A and B are shown apart, each in its own frame.
Chain A
Amino acid sequence: MKILVLAKQVPDTATQVKISSNPRAIETAGVTWIVSPYDEFALEEALRIKEKRQGTEVVAVSLGPDRVKETIRSCLAMGADRAIHLNDPAWADADTLTTARALAAVIKQEAPDLVLTGRQAIDDDMGAVTAQVAEILGWPCASWIMEEAIADDGKTVRAGRQVEGGLEIFDLPLPAVLSAQKGLNEPRYPTLKGIMGAKKKEIRDVKAGDLGLAAEPPQLSLLTLEALPPRPPGRVIPGEVKEAVRELVKALREEAKVV
């Protein structure tokens, strides 16, 4: 079985994000980059399938500039067998659809049985690429999965997707696309052996032309990034608990008018 894991490089949650001199970009100096956490759940799940099913190959795929190599090496260190790096200035302004088209083209080349990815990347939080890849490929897709099990014959996967008020369990014929929700698993840390071994693993660089894709303007374009409008200064209500609570409730009714 072959599994492709789509992983995106994003700034660490705790990192400070500032707008650069170009109002359409963030200042990248000093940013700590990580594999988007949901994509880590996806990779972990792929590795667990590999441990259960002999002969499974896990391929990490990431789109982005040169710095993305670091993310790819993290995926290889965790246990992916090889990687594909979609690296082309043509994708610098890629929206979700352009990204999905590029990823779908690679998926067609590789013809995996399963594509796993995170429910959304934590930088732009669009959460669209999984479903768009599935649409372009014409494959079934289960988003926000909390559990999965591939049938012994390798022809279907049973996946539980989180919905309001419960879990919907679906059978999907393979090939299929699944997106990971938190709770699917607990990702492993790379071992020292894994980190050393990652250096020897193959990373294939791919350009838009290699996929037969013509440059296309994005369908959704970023106009500007803006800082958050400041929240009006708050106040700490002092005093003894009962008094403070009384004042709080009064303020919520009379000032804020929310109760």
Chain B
Amino acid sequence: MAGAFWCVVEDDRKGSPKKVMAEVIGEAARLSGGEVEAVWVTDKASDEGLKQLGEWGAKKVWLLENAALVPYRAEVWAPAIADLAQAQSPKAIFGPVTSRQRELIARLAARLGVGLAADCTALAMDGDTLVATRPVYAGKLLSKVTWAKAPWLATLRPNVFRPAETQAGRSAAVERPGVTFAGAKMKLVERREEAATGLPELTEAEIVLSGGRGMKGPENYVILEELAGILPNAAVGASRAAVDAGWRPHRFQIGQTGRTISPKLYLGFGVSGAIQHLAGMRTSKVIVAVNKDPEAPIFKIADYGIVADLFEVVPALKEEFKKLLEK
């Protein structure tokens, strides 16, 4: 429908939308008064996945389903979505901040000749226009931006926007538009999977435990992993100091030159709270700091702090959380 808010689906590459789509669809529905449609580019969409998008509130799913669309390459996806957008005139196109959508939505904006606001933490209608709020300068300031014309393109930071609720009975009409796919110049050679940690992705986790220089060495992260293992949807990250020391691979780094996270609960263990770390976690809802040094800057932004040795605190926390969660 012309004027609808589109949400580009991030999926698990197995035919199901990721949970973060509930947040994107939820926000699009609030802003548009429910005029939300999903755009799903995939080789195979599952019936459950299509049902889920409808139950979250998508009225329609534009399904671009073709084996040639996998693996993801922006040079193929962007023209396909752009052609559809030109034919359908959506008011906005949103996606979650993920490695592929940060690139895809940017490329789409260039193709459509419109503005892009990346990594937004708030969106609001101001009369007939959309205003986005996004952190800038290492999260030290917020910028408010707006678009010269529609469609308004934006990527939304995960864990910030209130997710749509699953409502049984709502369903999306599935439309398969005829789209021509551009030939790909890039060829996938291989996909190297990381050793599975058994824990969720850092950016998607609701609880993040972060270990800094106070962890003293790579061998000690296992205590954080064990603690994360008993908490629901919890992941383990690290500060730049710990990554630069070679204790953790770079993919676990939280901060300006690492991942930006916004979990419900952040717990920093032996993290001093350098500006560059704060840049990656300051939009966390609740911040807990555990550090031996009462002067550590992280205490300035922490909601709760304990000044103590993390090697005493972590086992005690594990015991208390166990008691709490077994109830």
Contact = CB atoms under 8 A, between A and B. Distances in A.
Interface of A: 11, 13-14, 17, 19, 26, 37-38, 95-97, 100, 122-132, 134-136, 139-144, 146, 158, 160-173, 176, 181-183, 217-228, 231-232, 234-237, 241-242, 244-246, 248-249, 251-253, 256, 258-259
B168 interface: no
Given A237-B305, A256-B286, 5 more contacts: A14-B275, A96-B116, A167-B192, A170-B188, A249-B317
Contacts of B174: none
23 contacts: A13-B279, A19-B141, A100-B110, A122-B256, A127-B102, A132-B106, A132-B110, A134-B107, A142-B186, A164-B203, A168-B192, A169-B190, A170-B73, A172-B185, A182-B253, A222-B143, A223-B144, A227-B141, A234-B305, A235-B304, A241-B306, A259-B207, A259-B232
Contacts, number: 261
B258 A126 contact: no
Contacts of B140: 17, 228
B251 interface: yes
Interface string B190-222: 111110000001010001000000000000000
Interface of B: 71, 73-75, 78, 98-100, 102-104, 106-107, 109-111, 113-119, 131, 134-149, 184-194, 201, 203, 207, 231-232, 250-251, 253, 256-258, 264-265, 275-276, 279, 282, 285-288, 294, 299, 301-309, 312-313, 316-317, 320-321, 324-325
| Interface SS, A side | mixed
Contact of A168 (B134, B188, B275, B303): B188
Contact of B147 (A96, A166, A220): A220
A224 B144 CA distance: 5
A241 B102 contact: no
A85 to B, nearest CB: 23
A68 B142 CA distance: 24
Given A219-B147, A227-B141, A135 B110 contact: yes
Contacts of B106: 96, 126-132, 135
A141 B116 contact: no
Contacts of A134: 74-75, 107
Nearest to B232: A259
B199 to A, nearest CB: 12
A14 B118 CA distance: 23
A132 B107 contact: yes
Given A128-B106, A143-B99, A161-B99, A219 B191 contact: no
A17 B136 CA distance: 10
B68 to A, nearest CB: 16
Contact of B143 (A164, A225, A235): A225
Nearest to B265: A258
A19 B227 CA distance: 41
Given A167-B191, A245-B306, A173 B185 contact: yes
Most interface-central of A26, A96, A135 (chain B CB within 10 A): A135
A82 to B, nearest CB: 27
B191 to A, nearest CB: 5
Nearest to B154: A220
B273 to A, nearest CB: 12
A79 B285 CA distance: 44
Contact of B186 (A96, A100, A140, A249): A140
A234 B287 contact: yes
Contact of A231 (B186, B187, B301, B306): B301
Contacts of A232: 303
A160 B111 CA distance: 25
Contacts of B103: 130-131, 141, 143
B292 to A, nearest CB: 11
Contact of A128 (B118, B194, B207): B118
Nearest to A256: B286
A241 B309 CA distance: 9
A259 B305 contact: no
Contact of B138 (A122, A237, A245): A122
- Listed from nearest, the 7 A-B pairs whose CB atoms lie closest are A220-B115, A219-B115, A128-B106, A132-B110, A135-B110, A131-B106, A245-B316
